Amino acid sequence: MHYLTLSELSILLRTKAISPVELVKHMLNRINALDPQLESYVTVTAQRALEQADRAEREIGSGRWRGPLHGVPLAYKDIFYTDFALTTAGTAIHKSFQPTYSATAVRRLEAAGAVSLGKLKTTEQAWTEHHPTVAAPKNPWGAELYAGASSSGSGVATAAGLTFGALGSDTGGSIRFPSAVNGVTGLKPTWGRVSRHGVFELAASLDHVGPMTRSAVDCAIMLGAIAGADPADPTAVHDSVEDYQAAALRSVAGMRIGLPRAYATEGVDPGIVAVWQAAAKVFEDLGAIVEEFSFPEWRNAASTWPILCSSETALTHAATYPSKSESYGSALSALIDLGRSSTAMDLASAHHARLEFSSRLRAKFSNLDVILVPVTIWPTPTTAATADILQMSPLEDLLRFTCVFDSTGSPTLTLPGGFDDRGAPMAIQLIGAHFDEAAVLQAGAAFQRATDWHSRHSRHFP
């Protein structure tokens, strides 16, 4: 039961084949049994979950079905404000912060009938490393494997059957890396598609909010609930919200899928390239028009992304850094120091690089519907090796498939695409035109109907 997709579960709840109350009891028991090993949750809101499940059972029983999320247990990265639980953002400075309201995305999910299981671990303020006082989540495919960046708690809990979906966030890759290494499906919507109201910022113009689930259809369902304008967030756009679930059921026959061969293969591990090529063949077999094209020059946009991110992060923390710098971990401190030391000229140059790359990428979608690329340049590393990789490889190479699409604000979908010879997940990524989440979900769901990578689970947590 705990490994059903959200969409499969929804049917069983609506037809009363599964009791919401019994389901939540099962999930709470599983969290209690397994999360001491996986360490994905910060807080489990058991009483609230049981009360919401009881309400859902009564409403569904009386014919008042709210939609496909009604009675479905979900959880939230601990940067999302919740008026029913602390929101620590993985920090020491906010370790006792109790919001008086919930984030718009959380409120919308609960209004759709979702059951809130609790809050999931994040790295310190959604940057690269956990605060020294916080134990990092463990990858369910192997405790020695890297569990991803800041949305690691969301990736681990979803992969291990401790929730049916989660909210994550992405500034440089933090939905995509945890989705890739934990073998789940993660959607980074277009910047502005989902309200960021009530979400701790890392770098406001780069931060994206999105769902992490076990299928593209599940992402479509969650996006349909959280997308749309929000008076509390002036950056949430007023563009119409499509029926993403319906879009995910459409064929990809005739869809134009671009392959940027040099960008996707040069300096990339051969195993990653093989997964990317195999995915392209799947799309071709499904009737898509798969064609190679010249990708825009990306290195300048990638190499200047740290200037954008660090400058905005320094602004976010101006009230507490450096005045409370002793409460910060070393990685977040280093990022803020970089931002505080950057000049106006540095920032202007980075901004120009961002605009130029964004314009050149946007032009490619006049002839393409989606672009297929990897997520990482390397197979899932061990946690021990991650620090060495970060020191030895230029950041623009490590983030080449992620940060540039935060700079552009493009929608992306990360999908399981295979396994390496250790049994660790490997992933592919689909990039779409602005506000065309429907296209990446359409392509991703078609890929998952033709493959079963997304339905496999770790033998360590049956």
The token pair that represents 61 in the structure block: 């029983």
Active site residue: 77, 121, 138, 188, which one?
Answer: 77
Instruction: Decide: residue 417, CB within 10 A, 0-12 exposed, 13-18 middle, 19+ buried.
Output: buried
Model confidence pLDDT, tens digit, residues 161-180: 999 999 999 999 999 999 99
What does the DSSP assignment read for 115-142? Answer: EEEEEE--SGGGSSS--TTSPPP--TT-
Beta-strand relationship, 41-44 and 73-77 = unpaired
Distance, in Å, from the CA atom of 454 to the CA atom of 416, rounded to the nearest integer, reads: 5
Give the position of tokens 């498939």.
401
Distance, in Å, from the CA atom of 425 to the CA atom of 128, rounded to the nearest integer, reads: 20
Give the helix/strand (H/E) hosting 442: helix 437-450
pLDDT at position 380: 92
Residue type (1 letter), 249: L
The token pair that represents 13 in the structure block: 């709840």
Active-site residue flag, 19: no
| 390 has a pLDDT exceeding 70 | no
Give the Cβ contact number of residue 234 at 10 Å: 11
pLDDT at position 394: 76
Model confidence pLDDT, tens digit, residues 249-283: 999 999 999 999 999 999 999 999 999 999 999 99
pLDDT at position 436: 98
Q: What is the 3-state secondary structure (H, E, C) of 13-59?
A: HHCCCCCHHHHHHHHHHHHHHHHHHHCCEEEECHHHHHHHHHHHHHH
The token pair that represents 109 in the structure block: 């999910």
Residue 345: pLDDT band (50, 70, 90) is: very high
Active-site residue flag, 349: no
Active site residue: 174, 179, 195, 410, which one?
Answer: 174
Name the nearest CA neighbour of 289 among 180, 367, 186, 389: 367
Active-site residue flag, 138: no
Evaluate whether 42 touches 118 at the Cβ level (below 8 Å): yes
For the chain, the first-to-last Cα distance in angstroms comes to: 11
Active site residue: 7, 19, 150, 310, which one?
Answer: 150
Rg of the chain (C-alpha set): 20
